[in-house]
A and B are shown apart, each in its own frame.
Chain A
Amino acid sequence: MSALITFENVGKIYKTGSIVYEALHDVNLEIEEGELVVILGPSGAGKSTLLNLLGGLDAASSGKIFFASEELTAFDDVKLGKFRAMDVGIIFQFYNLVPTLTAVENVALMEELGIKIMDPVKALEMVGLAERKNNFPSQMSGGQQQRVSIARALAKQPRLLLCDEPTGALDTNTGKEVLKILQDQSRVYNKTVVMVTHNALFAEVADKVIYVKNGTVVEVKHNDSPKDAFDLDW
């Protein structure tokens, strides 16, 4: 496998008035295409910052980030936007659906990026929610909303799926279902899935586990025999 994503000495600093906070410091890592990667670490370790930089949601303060040999850190706002639209699917902890759009409309929203996406109903079928397509987010459970969020991310068939605590707001069974969908994206469809979590149990389903602490990558572990999501002892 070739590296889809490469971080070279990446740092991120936040400034609020006179207060300077170093969220990431000298991060180096590689993520291969089709891998399921779990980024683990305690609160405030820099996991979400890492994910934001991966998805082009934020700009690095130092260092270089490459995606399929292209330097993301050299992209302007417009190119970053295109990158997010074409190559990245994001799944949030709190689903972040547009409350005034139905499930199918939330997925169809991706059409408006001017890219070719799969049939929104088919995307909902993939996550087992075709029958709730005309429901508004407020009419669905947390798990259902998260599945719509996944369908939205999958609809544009991105190369990279980024998940920020995707099961953080879900119960155990629903969490496993969501995790299974994400695992299948990597195993069946060869998508690169990067998942941020503070739940160490998820390390068992990952191909690669990146441990983050105090803004640096402290360890990268390869998992030769990842478990199936439904086999997790949650």
Chain B
Amino acid sequence: MKKNLIKKMFRDLRFNAVQFVSIFIMCFLAIFLLAGFDADTQGRLRSSDRYFKKTNFFDLLLTSEGFTREDIDTLEEIPEIAHAERRTSLKGKVTNCLNKKIELNFIESDEVCKLYLMEGEPFTAGKRGIWIDWHFAKVHNLSIGDTVEIDIDGKAISEPVTGIVDEPQHTNFMIDESYTEAQYGDYAYAFLDTSEYPLDDINFETAVVDLTTVENQMYLTDEDMKAFKTAKLDILDKISKTSMSIMIKPEQEAYAAQRSDCSFNDTMIAIFPSLFIVLALLSTITTMSRITAKQRTVIGTLKALGFSRKTITLHYISYTVVIAFMGCFLGLLAGYYGLGEWLIEDFYDYYSVPGGSMGMSYMVPVVALSVVVFSGVANYLSCRRLLVLSASTILMPEAPKAGGAGFIEKLFIWKHLSFATRWNLRDININRFRSVMGVFGVLICSSILMGAFGFDEILAEQDDWMYDDLRPADYTINLSDRGGYSWAYDYAREYKGQMIMTSNAELMSRTDSRLFTVTVVDKGNLYRVQNDKREYLDIPVYGAIISYKAAEALNVKKGGNISFRLPTEKKIYTVSVTDICKSPDVQGIIVSRNCFEKMGGYFDPQTVYTDMTVPVSIASDRREVTGVINKNELIHSLEKDMESMNDMVIVIIVIGMITGFTGMYNTGIMSYIEKTRDVATLKVLGFATEKIRWILQQQNLFLTGAGTILGIPVGHLYIKYLIDSMDPTADYIVDLTYLPYVKMVAFTYGLSILVNALISTRVKSINMVEALKGVE
């Protein structure tokens, strides 16, 4: 571009710094958030994809009462199946490592869900030794050749460390329910050859299957999903175990959790960057309309001097293109290397994916470039109105905008309105675009704040809801799943507790079947159920209560029937749905023990809830007890789990405030500049500064009110999006008190009044003579 025109551009940018800084901030924030969340999502997906490909993550996971060698042979004869392996696991304690819990997996070969070797020898069938997880090895200083002493239900074994490994099924591994988030190193998982199985009879309860046609891992296609379905049908056809359940890869817990986290990122990407982009484009339109209007004479002169329309257009387009480019470029760098790195580091705290890194999709540069292009287009559209005119017309002063307050002037009330109100109503009507922009700026701010404060209240309510309303027990005793009913009964009697059985199960409706959880509840008042209005529901003597999310997924209504099959049973249970509940952490159905047993089910509880004090020491003293957790620990664990969510809420509030401030200040300044002549006239006529400031403030309060009211439903939409994007096993009750509304109104109005007060200080120092000149 031309040297002197470039100088002019940079000086104009400096003289209109507020407007251009706000466009810069919007572009920066949009691409910052987009690049940050995208770096996290792409990093997760690509790293996990690489890792899963390298380790040949399973396509199907089969569970039954036991798989024989013949079953595996039959499976491998199915054309879609490349390989199948059977496995079993035991839980124990590492006696020479502070009695830490360990999950021992016994495998025959290492073709599917391969061990990712960090140190030592690769797994060899028939070889003695243990391949232990690298986090545990690191925390407990275990090296190749060290001996690990393990106690399994009273049986002691001793194994040399042969390999230090990671394993893809354990990317987000929690050894039992006492953990709500992965704490690597605090427990272990390990792999051994089946010849090392310490108990009498080995029973392979699971089988991992690799399909020939599914090569993809985290990027599954429709074809892959079809392949899962076909293979599932073929397996059910060939294997006669009616008790068998089949889990497809995307249903695996860690896999699903990663996908769910990515879906949260996608929501963040969908909401905030789009808002900022829209705001940046609207700011571009308003700013450039104002600048070109203000530089009407300059444009006319340039045209009269012989500059072509193309040159002048490109000159003015370059203003926002330069700013948008700078904002997008710096936003991309800061988003990728700042936010992205912070998010991905957080991810690797919870997920074990060796060789993980960040990533970037083509979408980020494309969106960044589009923002720059669109800002140029928006700029062109706002300048075009003037630039299409002839030089002589542009050089004529623009006629003042005519018009009144519209139909309101015809109403009886008009005559009774104050001068200030009438002046403001006319100003709003005459400058409709500017007014709509002002309302829109407030709407963006108020809706973000509404979403943030509302979500904050929902999160804050979550521990009360979970541990006061639904699971009020002071202690939870978790029992080994090998104990059966008698152990649970003994503890329930000793501590006057309530027994609960939970099991993954395939839930079947008339239209669909999915993996969910079946909870069987014994008599007592320590496991409760509520509907979406937080009203208690009685667990029916005969019938089931289904959680809202399960009902929605399976399209089941109150009064309908639901069937389920437990993983190690042949029997299909069918029960009527008596109610729909909201469940914060487990989705599926809840039935009473009485109902379950009447249907012929075997009540096998793993959890006892009690209000009596349970000594924590029994978890280490008694082998049947896998954990004793008191309520405070659960609340603390939940709060810790919510910490990142709370951080996110604070980030959203800050974003809302920044957006609000820049949006309001930008439109406020523009509005004030457009009103300068009116303000000067009022001042010349003798209006006091404070009186004029109050007139301006009145219009501001009115527009803020309109934006705030419109922000409420939009804010509720944000909340819905946020909740929908959370972990699929989690649910929330949206029953807001007046507080989020009060906070939102207070913050929005506070910001608006502050911005207006800042802008209207200019009234005092306005140069009446300059302002009333006919030309620039």
Q: A residues bordering B, Cβ < 8 Å?
A: 48-49, 52, 55, 57-59, 77-78, 81-86, 88, 90, 92, 94, 96-101, 105, 108-113, 152
Contact = CB atoms under 8 A, between A and B. Distances in A.
A112 B391 CA distance: 18
Given A100-B8, A101-B8, A85 B391 contact: no
Nearest to A106: B4
A57 B392 contact: yes
B532 interface: no
B362 interface: no
B776 A99 contact: yes
Interface in B354-393: 390-393
Contact of A77 (B8, B15, B309): B309
B301 A98 contact: yes
Contacts of A52: 390-392
Contacts of A78: 308
Contact of B7 (A49, A59, A84, A105): A105
Contacts of A96: 297-298, 300-301, 304, 395
B8 to A, nearest CB: 5
Contacts of A98: 8, 298, 301-302
Given A81-B306, A98-B298, A110-B305, A57 B391 contact: yes
B3 interface: yes
Contacts of A101: 4, 7-8, 11
A100 B3 contact: no
B5 interface: yes
Contacts of A55: 304
B305 A57 contact: no
Contacts of A49: 392
Interface in B290-318: 297-298, 300-309, 311
B305 A84 contact: yes
A81 B311 CA distance: 11
A81 B306 CA distance: 5
Nearest to B10: A100
Interface in B392-431: 392-393, 395
Among A55, A90, A99, A100, the one with the most B-chain Cβ atoms within 10 Å of its Cβ is: A100
B2 interface: yes
Interface in B1-26: 2-5, 7-8, 11-12, 15
B771 to A, nearest CB: 15
In the A-B complex, list the 8 residue pairs whose CB atoms are closest, starting with the nearest.
A85-B306, A112-B2, A84-B306, A100-B11, A52-B392, A96-B301, A57-B391, A58-B392
Please classify how large the interface on chain B is, using the bins under 10, 10 to 19, 20 to 34, 35 or more.
20 to 34
A91 B746 CA distance: 56
Given A98-B8, A101-B7, 5 more contacts: A82-B306, A99-B298, A99-B776, A100-B15, A105-B8
Among A81, A108, A111, A152, the one with the most B-chain Cβ atoms within 10 Å of its Cβ is: A81
B618 interface: no
Among A55, A59, A82, A99, the one with the most B-chain Cβ atoms within 10 Å of its Cβ is: A99
B696 to A, nearest CB: 27
A94 B397 CA distance: 12
Contact of A86 (B304, B306, B395): B306
A48 B393 CA distance: 11
A45 to B, nearest CB: 16
Contacts of A83: 306
Contacts of B300: 96
B775 interface: yes
Contacts of B393: 58
A98 B776 CA distance: 11
Contacts of A152: 305
9 contacts: A48-B392, A52-B391, A57-B303, A85-B306, A99-B776, A100-B7, A101-B7, A111-B2, A111-B4
Nearest to A14: B393
B557 to A, nearest CB: 62
A112 B301 contact: no
B298 A113 contact: no
Contacts of B309: 77, 81
A86 B8 CA distance: 23
A100 B16 CA distance: 12
A130 to B, nearest CB: 18
Nearest to B297: A96
B4 A90 contact: no
Interface in B252-304: 297-298, 300-304
Nearest to A100: B11
Contacts of B298: 96, 98-99
Nearest to B388: A77
A101 B390 CA distance: 24
A88 B306 contact: yes
A78 B8 CA distance: 24
A83 B3 CA distance: 23
Nearest to B14: A100
A55 B301 CA distance: 12
Given A81-B306, A96-B297, A100-B15, A105 B392 contact: no
Contacts of A109: 2, 4-5, 305
B390 A57 contact: yes
Contacts of A57: 303-304, 390-392, 395
Nearest to B391: A57
Among B390, B393, B775, B776, the one with the most A-chain Cβ atoms within 10 Å of its Cβ is: B390
